[in-house]
């Protein structure tokens, strides 16, 4: 009497008896993961060292020099001090910018009236390069941590806002129709279909916002600061201390790498379905 | 109460279809009168539906057949309430409809499973709108997944399933709400031949067991002949139903090769001729 169609699940017994695919051996794996990357780094460092020996060390410091300066910066506490300030400003500004961007993006995406009213302002603000606002900030808030945080907030806010709003508006019609035909109310439709469907767009906006936040932090510190990474970069650059400069550039890029890695982990853990599987 | 026992009660005890018999009642379960729909675009104006009438009987399997773009999908969407007609009325069991009906379910051509939900949660989507408890939803969703043979994939994300399996979930999702009328819009159009045939047989099975009314849109004449009691022939621009054909082939049709039957061949050539004539194509 049961309607069960033969289940198309895999025959576990058979799967166990099938020959296993060949796995790379231990030596193969250590080659791929450890040796090859090290070799690449070695080649780059080697060519760099060779080039540097022919060029004025002020323009292109040797890799040894940079490594040594890197160590000095940490030994003297300069790097840690700058990092402490920069990181604090970066992440406070970034999270405020992300949160505000997503929140307002959802409002604008959801309510056409909001878009009608705020649209022109947002579009013109987005088109303006934010650097030009820096003198204005200095006037308003002074050369302070607040000014730099505000700058990071703004530079993060806009891409997140626009992508979030766009995402909510551009939800695939198919999904919405499924929700409708299955009888979901307006509220249920937003909660169960529209919001989840806009996650990929929001994530894209977040990715951009995070990258811009780092830039904003550094630029802000170059212009409006006497402390922090950006300031130090400026300082060493103008003082021709290229070794320390490059060491800091490398340090700053590590922040970016960290952010990207964190984002990817979050995406894999909470939004696995957004990763193109096939 | 399981779906099947409900179906038993509805048809009055018997669940197997006898040879040559189709379930009819004197008043149709679904009626469409005078449907009109015109699409205005910058390039051209398309009369998708021109005063279309259709009466669908309780428990029957009726197909809407015609070349692409002739209004059959539009009619199906209007019946479900996904689109608004310019004029015309529809009634379900004598009651006029407006908006989306809770007694009908729709199966989409591009499947449209929600990728952020598991297979089980996709099947249960319609139940969430109907205020069932979590436990009840789970049971009902597992019931329909078993009907389509995907119970062991309940926890999987949709992107791990093949196209045929995903459409099975689409069908399960529609069945979960126990619709009086099931609307299917070229559901197997995107699948390969083998999967398509397998799913045609499954649908025929499900239909004969569960006894609901099915309105099936397709451009595949053989598919329509295999599955249906009646076939409504559409012609495009302006969209009209020009003939309704009775498919008087014996059931159950899975037991023999329908295509080889002389009567089926007759029907097929009649339908093809009719469709070609309407388009003004050479015979």
Any A CB within 8 A of B9 CB: no
Q: Is the dihedral of CA B115, B119, B124, B128 positive or negative?
A: negative
CB B181 within 8 A of CB B215: yes
Cα–Cα distance measured from residue A111 to residue A122, given in angstroms and rounded to the nearest whole number: 15
Task: Assess whether pLDDT exceeds 60 at residue B10.
Answer: no
Q: What is the pLDDT of residue A133?
A: 78
Whether the bond between B10 and the residue before it is cis, its omega within 30 degrees of 0, is no
Chain B residue with CA closest to A10: the answer is B152
Spell out the domains of chain B, with CATH numbers in brackets. 3-11+22-103+179-279 (3.40.50.300)
DSSP letters spanning A186-221: HHHHIIIIIHHHTHHHHHHHHHHHHHHHHHHHHHHH
CB B183 within 8 A of CB B56: no
Cα–Cα distance measured from residue A18 to residue B89, given in angstroms and rounded to the nearest whole number: 60
Q: What is the pLDDT of residue A212?
A: 93
Any A CB within 8 A of B1 CB: no
Band (pLDDT 50/70/90 cuts) for residue A41 is: confident
| Cβ-based contacts under 8 A for chains A and B | 87
Nearest to A196 among B116, B146, B177 (CB): B116
Q: What is the pLDDT of residue A157?
A: 93
Q: A97-117: per-residue pLDDT in tens? A: 999 999 999 988 888 777 777
Pick from A99-108, A136-145, B71-80, B101-110: least confident: A136-145
Closest CA to B159 of B118, B189, B128: B118
Pairing, β B61-65 against β B104-107: unpaired
CA distances from A15 to A10, A11, B122, B159 (A): 8, 6, 28, 22
DSSP A272: G
Residues B104-111: what's their mean pLDDT?
94
Q: Report CB contact under 8 Å: B100, A183.
A: yes
Interface of B with A in 161-180 (CB under 8 A): 165, 173, 177
Any A CB within 8 A of B6 CB: no
Nearest to A184 among B110, B129, B157 (CB): B129
Q: What is the pLDDT of residue A262?
A: 95
Residues A164-189: what's their mean pLDDT?
92
Band (pLDDT 50/70/90 cuts) for residue A266 is: very high
ipTM field: 0.85
CB A230 within 8 A of CB A204: no
For the record, the structure tokens of B204 come out as 């025929």
Pick from A52-66, A124-138, A246-260, B246-260: least confident: A124-138
Nearest to A5 among B3, B177, B202 (CB): B202
DSSP letters spanning B169-236: HHHHHHHHT--SEEEEESTTTTS-HHHHHHHHHHHHHHHHHH--EEEEEES-HHHHHHH-SEEEEEET
Q: What is the pLDDT of residue B49?
A: 92
Task: Assess whether pLDDT exceeds 80 at residue A27.
Answer: no
Q: What is the pLDDT of residue A10?
A: 66
Most confident of the ranges A52-66, A115-129, B157-171? B157-171
Task: Assess whether pLDDT exceeds 50 at residue B105.
Answer: yes
Band (pLDDT 50/70/90 cuts) for residue A8 is: low
Torsion angle of the four alpha carbons B177, B183, B186, B190, in this order, in degrees rounded to the nearest 10? -10
- A68-274: CATH class: mainly alpha
- Rounded to 10 deg, the angle between the A145-169 and A134-141 helix axes is 120
- Rounded to 10 deg, the angle between the A112-127 and A78-110 helix axes is 140
Residues A153-173: what's their mean pLDDT?
91
Cα–Cα distance measured from residue A72 to residue A64, given in angstroms and rounded to the nearest whole number: 12
Closest CA to A219 of A155, A161, A123, A157: A155
Residues B144-157: what's their mean pLDDT?
93
Any A CB within 8 A of B150 CB: yes
Q: Which residues of A touch B (CB under 8 A)?
A: 1-9, 172, 174-175, 177-185, 188, 192-193, 196-197, 199, 271-273, 277-278
Task: Assess whether pLDDT exceeds 50 at residue B258.
Answer: yes
Cα–Cα distance measured from residue B165 to residue B87, given in angstroms and rounded to the nearest whole number: 38
Task: Assess whether pLDDT exceeds 50 at residue B26.
Answer: yes
Q: What is the pLDDT of residue B278?
A: 62
Task: Assess whether pLDDT exceeds 90 at residue A124.
Answer: no
Q: What is the pLDDT of residue B5?
A: 55
Band (pLDDT 50/70/90 cuts) for residue B18 is: very low
Any A CB within 8 A of B59 CB: no
CA angle, B69 as apex, B65 and B75 as ends, to 5°?
A: 65
Chain length of chain B: 283
Q: What is the pLDDT of residue B266?
A: 92
Residues A32-38: what's their mean pLDDT?
82
Q: Report CB contact under 8 Å: B149, A5.
A: yes
Q: Coil, strand, or helix at residue B10? A: helix
Q: B217-245: per-residue pLDDT in tens? A: 998 999 999 999 999 999 887 889 989 99
CA distances from B39 to B90, B115, B242 (A): 20, 32, 21
Please state the domain extents for chain A: 68-274
Nearest to B112 among A7, A175, A277 (CB): A175
Any A CB within 8 A of B116 CB: yes
Any A CB within 8 A of B79 CB: no
pTM: 0.81
A230-249 burial string, b = 16+ CB within 10 Å, else e?
Answer: bbbbbbbeeeebbbbbbbbb
Task: Assess whether pLDDT exceeds 80 at residue A76.
Answer: yes
Number of H helices, E strands in chain B: 9, 10
Residues of B in contact with A184 (CB under 8 A): 125, 128-129
Residues B114-118: what's their mean pLDDT?
95
Residues B59-83: what's their mean pLDDT?
91
Q: Who's near A30: CB < 8 A, 6+ residues apart?
A: none
Pick from A23-32, A76-85, A254-263: least confident: A23-32
Q: Coil, strand, or helix at residue A142? A: coil
For the record, the structure tokens of A8 come out as 């198309």
Closest CA to B36 of B94, B83, B96: B83
**Percentage of residues in chain B with pLDDT exceeding 90?**
64
Closest CA to A180 of B170, B83, B39: B83
Q: What is the pLDDT of residue A9?
A: 61
For the record, the structure tokens of A175 come out as 């999904």
Any A CB within 8 A of B105 CB: yes
DSSP B88: E
Task: Assess whether pLDDT exceeds 90 at residue B84.
Answer: yes
Residues A212-221: what's their mean pLDDT?
90
- Rounded to 10 deg, the angle between the A228-238 and A242-270 helix axes is 150
Task: Assess whether pLDDT exceeds 80 at residue B122.
Answer: yes
């Amino acid at each position: 009497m049961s309607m069960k169609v033969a289940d198309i699940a895999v025959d576990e017994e058979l799967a166990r008896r099938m020959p296993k695919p060949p796995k790379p051996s231990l030596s193969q794996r250590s080659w791929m993961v450890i040796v090859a990357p090290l070799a690449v780094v070695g080649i780059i460092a080697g060519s760099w060292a060779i080039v540097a020996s022919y060029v004025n060390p002020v323009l292109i410091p040797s890799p040894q020099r940079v490594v040594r300066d890197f160590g000095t910066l940490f030994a003297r506490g300069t790097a840690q001090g700058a990092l402490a300030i920069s990181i604090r400003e970066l992440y406070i500004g970034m999270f405020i910018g992300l949160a505000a961007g997503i929140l307002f993006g959802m409002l604008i995406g959801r309510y056409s009236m909001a878009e009608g009213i705020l649209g022109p302002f947002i579009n013109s603000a987005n088109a303006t390069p934010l650097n030009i606002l820096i003198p204005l900030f200095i006037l308003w808030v002074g050369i302070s941590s607040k000014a730099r945080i505000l700058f990071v907030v703004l530079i993060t806010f806009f891409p997140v806002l626009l992508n979030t709003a766009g995402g909510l508006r551009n939800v695939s019609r198919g999904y919405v129709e499924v929700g409708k035909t299955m009888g979901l109310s307006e509220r249920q439709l937003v909660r169960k279909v529209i919001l989840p469907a806009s996650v990929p767009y929001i994530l894209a906006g977040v990715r951009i916002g995070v990258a811009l936040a780092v830039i904003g932090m550094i630029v802000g510190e170059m212009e409006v600061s006497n402390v922090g990474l950006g300031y130090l970069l400026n300082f060493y650059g103008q003082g021709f201390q290229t070794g320390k400069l490059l060491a800091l550039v490398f340090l700053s890029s590590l922040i970016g790498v960290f952010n990207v890695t964190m984002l990817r982990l979050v995406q894999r853990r909470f939004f696995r379905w957004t990763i193109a599987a096939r | 109460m399981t779906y099947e026992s409900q179906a038993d009660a509805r048809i009055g005890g018997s669940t197997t279809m006898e040879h040559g018999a189709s379930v009819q009642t004197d008043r149709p379960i679904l009626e469409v009168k005078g449907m009109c729909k015109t699409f205005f675009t910058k390039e051209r104006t398309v009369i998708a539906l021109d005063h279309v009438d259709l009466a669908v009987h309780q428990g029957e399997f009726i197909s809407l057949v015609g070349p692409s773009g002739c209004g059959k999908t539009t009619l199906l969407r209007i019946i479900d309430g996904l689109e608004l007609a310019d004029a015309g009325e529809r009634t379900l069991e004598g009651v006029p409809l407006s908006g989306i009906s809770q007694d009908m379910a729709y199966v989409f051509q591009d499947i449209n499973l929600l990728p952020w939900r598991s297979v089980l949660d996709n099947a249960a989507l319609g139940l969430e709108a109907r205020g069932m408890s979590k436990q009840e939803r789970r049971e009902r969703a597992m019931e329909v997944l078993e009907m389509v043979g995907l119970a062991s994939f309940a926890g999987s994300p949709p992107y791990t399933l093949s196209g045929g399996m995903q459409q099975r979930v689409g069908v399960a999702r529609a069945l979960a709400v126990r619709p009086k009328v099931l609307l299917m819009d070229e559901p197997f159009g995107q699948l390969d031949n083998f999967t398509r045939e397998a799913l045609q047989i499954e649908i025929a099975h499900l239909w004969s067991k569960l006894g609901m009314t099915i309105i099936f849109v397709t451009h595949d004449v053989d598919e329509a002949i295999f599955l249906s009691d009646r076939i409504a022939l559409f012609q495009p621009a302006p969209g009209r139903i020009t003939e309704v054909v009775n498919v008087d082939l014996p059931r159950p049709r899975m037991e023999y090769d329908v295509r080889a039957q002389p009567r089926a061949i007759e029907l097929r050539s009649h339908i093809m001729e009719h469709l070609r004539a309407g388009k003004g194509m050479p015979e």
